[in-house]
Structure formats: C-alpha cells, structure tokens
Structure 1
Amino acid sequence: MSERWIADRMHKIDASGIRKVFDLAATMKNPINLSIGQPHFDTPEPIKAAARQAIDNGRNAYSQTQGIKPLLEKIQASVQAEYGHADRKVFITSGTSGGLMLALSTLVNPGDEVIAFDPWFVMYKHLTTLAGGKCVQLSTYPDFRIDLDKVRAAITDRTKVILFNSPANPTGRVATEEEVRGLAELCREKDICLISDEIYRAFCYDRPFVSPAKYNDQTLVIDGFSKSHSMTGWRVGWCHGPEHVLQQMIKLQQFTFVCSPHPLQWAASEAWDFDVSEHVADYRRKRDLMKAELQEDFEIIGADGAFYLFLKTPWGTGTEFVRKAIENELLIIPGNVFSSQDTHFRLSYAAPDDTLRKGAAVLRKIAREGA
C-alpha cells in the first residue's frame, strides 16, 4: 500500500495518547478500571423494551434524516418551553459526536479558527482538523475557569467557532452562570458561533446547569442520551439551534450518517420520559466518596458534575504517574490526552464502589511512595 494514499489531514490526527495507555494495560489480568468514560449502569429496562418493540414492529428501515416525528416533537416542545426562541429548531443526530462533526463541517472553512478550552474533550481538536480548521487551545489552568479577558484576546478575524462544554470532560467542572452569560454575550458581540456540548447536562451536583442558549439565541446546542441514560452504543443525540444552520447540518447528515439508528430513536422517545434522577444522585454520592478518599493526597479542583476527577499528579508528569498506576493494576488516563499539558490524570468514578475504593487505595499508595 502506498503511503501517498493517506490524506495529509490524517497525519494531524493522533490517537496515540489513549492507545499507549491501553497498550500498557494489555497484560493486566484483573485491572482496576477507572478509565472508562461511560455510565456503569445498564440501559434501563423500559428503554430496552421499547427498542425491542420497535425492531419487532418493523422500524428497521431508514428514518427521515432529521429524525422520527414523535421524538422530534417531544424535544422541540421542551426546547421551546425552556428558551422560547422563534427560530430554534431540533433534529436528531447520530450521537453527540456525529452532531459535533456535522456542526464543525458545516461552519468551518479551511484556515478558520476554533477556540477550545484546555483541557478539552478529545474529539474537539481532531474534528476541527478534519473540517480544515485550526484549533486554538485556550488554557483554563489551574482552576479550569473561563477567563473572558483571555477569550477576548484570543479572538481574531479568523475565529469562527468557540467550543464550550459544561459539565466538562475531563475536569468535571460546571461553569458558573456569570461565565456562561459572559461567553454567550461575547460570542453574540463578535458574531462567533458558540457550540455548547451539553452531553453531561443531567450531572450537575453543586450548582444549577445553565446553557449559554439562555443568553444567546444563536447558540448551537448538542446533547444526547448516551451518558444520562447509558445509551453510549446506541448513537442517538440531538441538536438545537438557528434553523438556517440546522438545515445545512441536516443536508450533510443525509450524505454521511443518513440518520440516527431508526429503531433506537423510538427507544429514545421512551428514554425522554424516563427519570434518571436516581442515577444522578448515585454519581453525586460516588463523587463525594472519591473526594473523601483522595483529598488528603491530591488537590481536587472541578468535580462539580459529569463523572470525572482531573487530578494534578503529586510527582512526575501525568504520563509517568499513569505508568506507575498501571504497574499497580490501575487503569487511568494521562492528562495530555485531553490537554497541551502533561501534569494531570483523569479518572472516572462511573464504577462500583468496591472498584472505586480499590482504585483510591492504589492512588494514595503511589502518591505517598513517589517515583
């Protein structure tokens, strides 16, 4: 196979950070796995039953590209009730990742700049590259707060999009209403598209969730069922925003994903009415458990939502600390997978309590022993 077959853009997309972690873990017999960014509970039974029913009822062909009417109507009514924007419409995406890809491909021209807050969700940088854009990494260290003066200074005449994620992966931080409002108003002032990734919206523990769409009616919101309802493999998300933008995204979906999986959209319609507050409360408790287990040996910043802790290593780089953890049968992710810095590591507390306590014991041991 000729190397020249590979497009130049692929050489700018590097998955080696996560791959190295799993290569190191390949020989682990009984790993303590705190690396997985998905819920540890199974998809609720009523949702699974709705999926089976849809399959048995023959809902197995393509749906309309924009999604099935019952699901669209439920989400549209909720969005309209929350925001009241005359021009805010909804469509169903193939997961939030599919929604992000469609959004950036629709909005970003080659050479356009996309601001992402460091640490970021791993896909932001690479999907920007795929769209031909330049990812401008704006540091939020050490407290993971959004400094609006830094954002304003980073904006150029090529800035097209700002990517915003709250509650955030990997830090677990939930932005304050002041930060959200300031960012929304700045994007409106500068005529920049603000994409709000709200996949962890349900998981807010210490302060209420606030969407920038509340303060900027041009905000493009991407959300889904993956995390809140443990439907990560089902690939059903949704997007809402200005109709003229969504029409272009729907056009692109028609020629890429075609539609979100049809029978699972019917299950998602059932999921929309399913109460997940019990699971949210359980993750709040697990967050508190891990903070109590680790606070003597680690500085804990963020952790207001989602199900992650992003911890600064007490010694060495993030990569070195993770290597030592893997030698002790603990699987976590080095911070440089999510960041330009290699000073932290991410753990997920979406795991059984016994696994969490075992992992915390290993982390305390490593922290105290040093390199």
Structure 2
Amino acid sequence: MSDRWIADRMHKIDASGIRKVFDLAANMQSPINLSIGQPHFDTPAEVKQALCDAVQAGRNVYSQTQGIKPLLEALQAQVAQEYDHSDRQIFVTSGTSGGLMLALSTLVNPGDEVICFDPWFVMYKHLTTLAGGTVKLIDTYPDFRIDLNKVREAITPRTKVILCNSPCNPTGYVATEEELKGLALLAKEQDVALISDEIYRVFCYDRPFVSPARWNDQTIVIDGFSKSHSMTGLRLGWAHGPAHIIQQMIKLQQFTFVCAPQPVQWAGLAALKTDISDRVAEYHRKRDMMLRELGGLYDIQGASGAFYLFIKAPWGTGSEFVAEAIRNELLIIPGNVFSQHDTHFRVSFAAEDDTLAKGVEVLKRLVRRG
C-alpha cells in the first residue's frame, strides 16, 4: 500500500498531542483520571427510557434529514422564543461535531481563513483543514478574554468565519455580554460569518449565558445534548441560523450523516423536558471546591463555566508538568493540545468527589517541586 494514496489534507491533521499523553499513561496502575471531557453522571433515566421505547416501537429507520417533526417543533419553538428572528431555522445534527463540520464545510472555500481564539477546542483546527481553510489564531492569554481590537486586526479579505466558544473548552471562560455584543456587531460590520459553539451553555456559574446571536441574526449556533444530559455517545445535536445557510447544511447532511439516529432523537425530545438543574448545581459546587483547594497555589484564570480548569504550570512547560503528574498517577491534558503555547494544563472536574480529592492531593504535592 502506497502512502501516495493518502490525501494531502490528512498530513495537516496532527493527532500526536493526545497520542503522546495516552502513550505516557499506558502504564498507569491506578490512574486518577481528570482528563475526561464529558459529564461523570449517567444519562437521565427518562431519556434512556425514551430511547428504549423508540427502539422497541420500531423507530430504527432513517428519519427525515432535518430531524423528526416533534423534536424539530420543540426546538424551533425554544429558539423562536429566545431570539424572535423571523428567518432563524433549526435542524437536528449528528452531534455538535457533526454540526460544526457541516457549518464549516458549507461556509469555507479552500484558502479561506477562520478566526479562532487560542486556546481553542481541538476539533476547530482540523475541521477547518478538512474544509480547505486555514485557522487564524487570536491569543487570549493570560485571562482568556476576547480582545475586539485583535479580532479587527486579524480580519483580512480571506476571512470567512469567526468561531466563538463560550463557555469555553478548555479554559472554562464565559465571555461577557460586552465581548459577545462587540464580536457580533464586528462580524456583521465586516460581513464575516459568526459560528457560536454553545454546547456548554447550561454550565455558567458566575454570570448568565449570553449568545452573540442576540445582536447578529446571521449567527450560526451549534448546540446539543451531549454535555447537558450526558449523551456524548448518543450523538445528538442541533444547529440554527439564517434559513439560506441552514438549508445548505441540511443538503450536505443528506449526503454525509444522512440524519441523526432516529431513536436518539426521541430520547432528545424527552431530554428537553428533563430538569438538569441539580447536575449544574453539582458542577458549580465542584468548581468552587477546586478553586478553594488550588486557587492559592496555582494561577487559574477563566473557570466560570463548563467543567474545566485551565491551569498555568507552576514550573517547567505544561507538557513537562503533565508528564510528572502522570508519573504520580494523575491523568490530565497538557495545554499545547489546545494551544500554540505549552504553559498550561487542563483539569476536568467532571468526576466523583473522592477522585477530585485524590487529584488535588497530587497537584498540591507537585506545586512544591518547583
């Protein structure tokens, strides 16, 4: 088999960052795992029951590409109530990752630029590459705020998309109303598409969630059930935006994912009616506990949403610190997986309290080695 068979785009997609971490972790005996980017609680019982009922009822065939009618109607009503945009349309995607891929593939031509904020969710860069575009990174260190002057300076004639994620993975930063309003109006002024990844929107602890779509009715919003309802493996998301863009995304979904899994869509309908406020409160408590235990020892910015702390390494590089943590049975992710910089590491507090306590104990030991 010849390597010339491999498409050039694949050589621009580097999975080595995560691979190196798990290579280091391969010999861990009793890992304290604070690396996982998904909720630690189980899928709500009523959601699981709705999935089982759909399977037993024979709802195992294709749905229409845009999603089953009851779920579409429920989501459309929710979005209409929030935004009151006359042209805002919704459809159901195969996970938020599927929604992101469809949005970028619909909008980005080869050679176009996509503005992302560093640190960024790892998939943004690779999905942009798949679409033939180039990521243009805006540094947000040390506090992870959106600097609108930097965004304006980064826009060129090749800029097609600005990709925003609040609450943010990996930093946990929740952008302010002022930042998001400014970003929305700047995108509108410059005729640049704005994609808002809102998968963590329910997990805001210090300020309310705000969507930039509030000020820019052309914003494409990506959302889903994975994080809020612990449905990561069920692959169910949704997207909404101006109808002419959504129609193109639906067309592409028809010839890629076909549709989201139909039984899971019925589970999603049950999820919309399920109260998860207790889970949000639990992560708020865990966030407070982690900041209380580590805040005086480590430089921690952001951490106002999602379920991550993005912590500055107190000595060495982020990768060196993580390697030492792994030698101490603590599995965390180096910041350079999400960033051009190798100065930080990501901790997930989506874990049981005793696991978090063990992780805190290791981190307290490690900070004294500097």
Indicate the residue corresponding to 2:119 in structure 1: 119
Indicate the residue corresponding to 1:173 in structure 2: 173
Indicate the residue corresponding to 1:320 in structure 2: 320
* 3-state secondary structure, aligned to 1:369: coil
Question: What displacement does 1:169 show?
Answer: 0.2
Q: Which amino acid in the other structure matches residue 63 of structure 2?
A: S
Indicate the residue corresponding to 1:48 in structure 2: 48
After TM superposition, list the pairs within 5 Å mapping 1:184-195 onto structure 2. Answer: 184-195=184-195
In 2, Cα distance between equivalents of 1:239 and 1:61: 22
Question: What displacement does 1:29 show?
Answer: 1.5
**8 A contact 1:293–1:357 mirrored in 2:** no
Indicate the residue corresponding to 1:8 in structure 2: 8
Indicate the residue corresponding to 1:103 in structure 2: 103
In 2, Cα distance between equivalents of 1:158 and 1:339: 23
In 2, Cα distance between equivalents of 1:19 and 1:267: 33
**8 A contact 1:59–1:262 mirrored in 2:** yes
In 1, Cα distance between equivalents of 2:298 and 2:41: 27
In 2, Cα distance between equivalents of 1:138 and 1:320: 25
Does 1:297 pair with 2:291? no
Q: Which amino acid in the other structure matches residue 295 of structure 1?
A: G
* 3-state secondary structure, aligned to 2:253: helix
Deviation string, structure 1 residues 8-48 (Cα, Å, up to 9, x no partner): 00000001101111111111111000000000000010000
In 2, Cα distance between equivalents of 1:127 and 1:53: 35
Question: What displacement does 1:334 show?
Answer: 0.2
Indicate the residue corresponding to 1:136 in structure 2: 136
Q: Which amino acid in the other structure matches residue 217 of structure 2?
A: D
In 2, Cα distance between equivalents of 1:225 and 1:146: 26
Indicate the residue corresponding to 1:75 in structure 2: 75
Task: Structure 1: give runs of 5+ residues left out of the alignment.
Answer: none
Indicate the residue corresponding to 2:196 in structure 1: 196
In 2, Cα distance between equivalents of 1:297 and 1:22: 27
Q: Which amino acid in the other structure matches residue 173 of structure 2?
A: R
Indicate the residue corresponding to 1:210 in structure 2: 210
Q: Which amino acid in the other structure matches residue 144 of structure 1?
A: F
Q: Which amino acid in the other structure matches residue 285 of structure 1?
A: R
In 2, Cα distance between equivalents of 1:369 and 1:168: 30
* 3-state secondary structure, aligned to 2:301: coil
In 1, Cα distance between equivalents of 2:123 and 2:15: 10
Indicate the residue corresponding to 1:306 in structure 2: 306
Q: Which amino acid in the other structure matches residue 231 of structure 1?
A: M
After TM superposition, list the pairs within 5 Å mapping 1:30-69 onto structure 2. Answer: 30-69=30-69
Indicate the residue corresponding to 1:266 in structure 2: 266
* 3-state secondary structure, aligned to 1:358: helix
Deviation string, structure 1 residues 161-208 (Cα, Å, up to 9, x no partner): 000000000000000000000000000000110000000000000000
> Normalised by the size of structure 2, how large is the TM-score?
1.00
* 3-state secondary structure, aligned to 1:21: helix
Question: What displacement does 1:253 show?
Answer: 0.3
Indicate the residue corresponding to 2:28 in structure 1: 28
Q: Which amino acid in the other structure matches residue 142 of structure 1?
A: P
Indicate the residue corresponding to 1:162 in structure 2: 162
**8 A contact 1:94–1:260 mirrored in 2:** yes
Question: What displacement does 1:296 show?
Answer: 2.0
Question: What displacement does 1:251 show?
Answer: 0.4
- The alignment of Structure 1 onto Structure 2 pairs a total of residues equal to 370
In 2, Cα distance between equivalents of 1:261 and 1:233: 11
Q: Which amino acid in the other structure matches residue 230 of structure 2?
A: S
Q: Which amino acid in the other structure matches residue 115 of structure 1?
A: I
Displaced runs of 4+ in structure 1, greater than 6 A?
A: none
Give the % identical residues: 73
Deviation string, structure 1 residues 203-231 (Cα, Å, up to 9, x no partner): 00000000000000000000000000000
Question: What displacement does 1:50 show?
Answer: 0.3
> Normalised by the size of structure 1, how large is the TM-score?
0.99
Question: What displacement does 1:348 show?
Answer: 0.2
Task: Structure 2: give runs of 5+ residues left out of the alignment.
Answer: none
In 1, Cα distance between equivalents of 2:367 and 2:124: 31
* 3-state secondary structure, aligned to 1:315: coil
Indicate the residue corresponding to 2:150 in structure 1: 150
Q: Which amino acid in the other structure matches residue 301 of structure 1?
A: Q
Indicate the residue corresponding to 1:252 in structure 2: 252
Does 1:353 pair with 2:353? yes
In 2, Cα distance between equivalents of 1:307 and 1:324: 23
**8 A contact 1:317–1:343 mirrored in 2:** yes
Q: Which amino acid in the other structure matches residue 93 of structure 1?
A: T
Question: What displacement does 1:300 show?
Answer: 1.3
Indicate the residue corresponding to 2:85 in structure 1: 85
Indicate the residue corresponding to 1:223 in structure 2: 223
